[in-house]
């Protein structure tokens, strides 16, 4: 939504990635991740958001959605292990 609302300029893409990263940091903090780790993940989340934004522009929204879903599955597995000693 944000890339289409803000446009596809370089600054708009970075702004969109930053807003999405901020949302994800709040979610990580809400599920019990230590605040320092949630904040430390902010930079990597901004970069990941920027990569997904580039994917939307270059290969289309379906590939970006698939990559985002794959990343969510990996992160869910790590969190599952962290909280429930799965592995």
Q: How far is the CA of 50 from the CAs of 34, 35, 43, 82, 87, in angstroms?
A: 24, 23, 11, 27, 31
Q: Rounded to two decimals, what is the model's pTM?
A: 0.78
pLDDT one-digit tens code per residue, 10-48: 888 899 899 999 998 998 888 888 888 888 899 999 999
Residue 1: pLDDT band with limits 50, 70, 90? low
Q: pLDDT tens digits, residue range 40-78?
A: 899 999 999 999 989 988 999 899 999 999 999 998 898
In the chain, the N- to C-terminal Cα span, in Å, equals 36
Query: Does residue 5 register a pLDDT over 80?
Result: no
Mean pLDDT of the chain: 88
Q: Length of the chain in residues, anyone?
A: 87
Q: Look up residue 16 and give its two tokens.
A: 């969109």
């Amino acid at each position: 939504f944000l890339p289409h609302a803000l446009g596809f300029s370089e600054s708009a893409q970075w702004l969109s990635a930053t807003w999405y990263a901020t949302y994800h940091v709040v979610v990580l903090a809400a599920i019990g991740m230590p605040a320092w780790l949630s904040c430390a993940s902010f930079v990597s989340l901004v970069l990941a958001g920027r990569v997904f934004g580039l994917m939307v522009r270059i290969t289309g929204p379906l590939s970006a959605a698939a990559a985002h879903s794959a990343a969510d599955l990996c992160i869910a597995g790590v969190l599952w292990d962290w909280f429930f000693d799965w592995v």
